[in-house]
Amino acid sequence: MNRKYQLPNSWEDKIETIKIKGAKPFDKIQNSKQEAYESWADHAGYNNASRYKKKQARSDNVIRVLSFPEVSPSGKQEMIKEFDFSHNLVTDNGEIYYAKLGAGEAAATNEDFGGTGAGTGFFDMGTVGYAENETDVYTQYSAGASSISGSIVTFTGGYPKTNDTGDADNTGDAVDAVSYAINYSAASWSDTTVEQGCIHDNASPIGATKLLAVFSFTLFAKTASDTLKVFVNHAFENQ
């Protein structure tokens, strides 16, 4: 999983002045990320997220976009976007859900992840990655990853959807993919060890709550100044 950075347009004419090492405003961009950052910064098209598609494998269907404030070379505080790509595991219950949708059958009330219009799906972010399995329900997720308070939130309005052309940050969208999304505000929650996530259908999940999918990230922090988007894209390939 490789992190990439996207700069505001206003930085373009001053990009050559940007330095990573020893520059206090950039202490959030660690030196280990310097090469990826400078590779991005040295090219035109800073607001063109589609550039990332060349770096993103089709299997990397989970996109994490963390936006955080930094001081620009001109002294103005603006938001930088940090992209990270991962993939998910659709559980057995998720596969049953999709099979029922395909057959025109009603999903059970405890396994309706929002695709029928009757159910409601939720993103749930957690700490500490764990070994995921297709048979997982919330018991396994909550035992392996501690759910972050305030992170259990319904999908962004209009999701799930196919052909998600409305948000350029979703570099995994496709006409043959269904996209799920969440957009956390800066004030929604914060945590220093975000590493796991899942989609389920319960605002107050219990052990038996079924999961549509579970996914992990490279460990990152979301502060009270950061916003966070997560996209999960499901496509059926050559079945």
* 222 vs 13: CA distance, rounded Å: 29
Average pLDDT (175-196) is: 95
Q: Hey, what are 222's tokens? A: 């979301």
Determine the pLDDT at residue 16. 43
Average pLDDT (150-170) is: 93
Average pLDDT, the chain: 79
Average pLDDT (188-217) is: 95
Q: How many degrees, rounded to 5, is the angle at CA 29 between CA 25 and CA 33?
A: 150
Selected residue with higher pLDDT from 229 and 2? 229
Q: How confident is the model at residue 91 (pLDDT cuts 50, 70, 90)?
A: very high
Residue written as token pair 């099979």: 99
pLDDT at 11 over 50: yes
Listed in order, strand segments (DSSP E) in the chain are 4-6, 62-71, 77-86, 88-90, 122-127, 146-147, 153-154, 161-162, 177-184, 191-200, 211-222, 227-235
Determine the pLDDT at residue 4. 61
pLDDT at 45 over 90: no
Average pLDDT (96-107) is: 90
Average pLDDT (129-135) is: 92
Determine the pLDDT at residue 170. 93
Q: How confident is the model at residue 2 (pLDDT cuts 50, 70, 90)?
A: low
Average pLDDT (62-73) is: 86
Give domain limits for the chain: 4-85, 88-225
